[in-house]
Structure 1
Amino acid sequence: MPGIIGRKIGMTSLFTPDGKSVAATLIQAGPCVVTQVKTVEVDGYKAVQVGYGDKKEKLANKAEIGHFKKANATPKVKVVEFKTEVEGFNLGDTINVDLFEEGEFLDVIGTSKGKGFQGVVKRYNFSGVGGQTHGQHNRARHPGSIGACSWPSRVFKGMRMAGRMGNDRVKVQNLRVLRVLTDKNLILVSGSVPGAKNSFVVLEK
């Protein structure tokens, strides 16, 4: 199985055998249920659909209830597809955090924190126009010039300007697995993981 779904718990630190403190993120990964096995004959491609987190049945529509009932599972909050070989996977199979081993590397996909509408200083690390002399009393955090006048008489596409920041799909690669607690479905990975606390993340090998 190439991956599993989890929920970000928070950050902590671990000490390595040589005495160094390493920042780590605690993730509750699984248990996940195989809710659908897609084949080339039926769906046109091979994939395994996995569900995580129980959802109240009254919050699910009839289509969802029927879909998860085929796998003898309750409605799930988060569903993710992994494109992989489907041999060996059956509806209702459980995938746990023991999928990963200490010392190996994985990728984590999450949704970054939303920052709302932000200016160029926060969004792109602009330094601002400069000092407040010569009558510039309200230009400190403004973007400055965004183009010429007679040519091109427009603003080029892709100009770095103020706008919505965050709330994007972010993938962080090559995070080392520091510890796996199979009895509690917890995994500790080195470094930071995108998203707020209790947000869903996808762990890929």
Structure 2
Amino acid sequence: MLTWDFLSMIGTIAFAISGAIVAMEEDYDILGIYILGIVTAFGGGAIRNLLIGVPVSTLWEQGTFFQIALLSITLIIIFPHHLLKHWHKWGNFTDAIGLSAFAIQGALYAADMNHPLSAIIVAAVLTGSGGGMIRDLLAQRKPLVLRSEIYAVWAIITGLLIGLNIFTSAVELIILFITITALRVLSYTYKWKLPTKQFKLN
């Protein structure tokens, strides 16, 4: 449970910051920055809950995490803007942390409810990338998860490893978190891509 809470906290902070930064890049007002940050942090979990049979009201029981998200967004808003210019250097890293942490959290959630492997994988993908997808759509950007760049694949692998009970203990989950984060960082650093198939009408 402590590992679960730890990963949830990391993911919440990472995605809240990610959403706030994207909102600032798109010139959203203060309210828009908070909304996009909150949606990014909790959107994936809300979709996951709907699909695996968890009451939507469960989301509102995460009062502490909402406060953490709001604090993270506030800190980004008051952060010196000249330092935020370096966002592109570490923004992907923050997103990688959120992806890894929330994918593990989502998989653990589904596994704890004794769902089959397929549901655990779906829960990992939705929790890990759902918030980012909603963020990109609201910001009128092409969703990162739908590009050729490797992104959701790492969430799929996470769900598979947890669903097969390969990673179960707290130490193993921390190792998995570090590994998935590192793989995501490597994938965008070295521009690893999935195969694409284009079709154009003449």
TM tier, smaller: under 0.3
Higher strand share: 1
Higher RCO by CA contacts (8 Å cutoff, separation 6 or greater): 1
Higher helix share: 2
Q: TM-score, normalised by structure 2?
A: 0.22
Q: TM-score, normalised by structure 1?
A: 0.22
Q: Give the number of the structure whose alpha-carbon radius of gyration is greater.
A: 1
